[in-house]
Amino acid sequence: MLDVQTATKENFLPPTLPKVDGDKSITFGPGELKFFVAEIKEMIENKKIIDLPKAIHNAKYFAMLEEREKEIKEGKVVSFTAEEWEKFVNEQEF
């Protein structure tokens, strides 16, 4: 049986975390909404307090990581070995 919990100010966001600005709309970019839903679902399944700022932050971060992985697979990212990077840095004029 599913437990029902009433969302109140006290159990919806911890008082020590910044609250979501009610006047500010939040727009999710491509891929972010699925991560937001997954974050909220995980909080509910683990019976944790629903932390919207954390879910929003994580959704945006995970979507960014997913995009970077896609770019790497497509060869759009330049990569260096540790030795190549060290040589590059040492050749720079500061």
pLDDT, tens only, 37-88: 999 999 999 999 999 999 999 999 999 999 999 998 998 888 889 999 999 8
Cβ atoms of 55 and 42 closer than 8 Å: no
Separation CA 24–CA 50 (nearest Å): 19
Q: Is residue 92 predicted with pLDDT exceeding 50? A: yes
Confidence class of residue 33 from pLDDT cuts 50, 70 and 90? very high
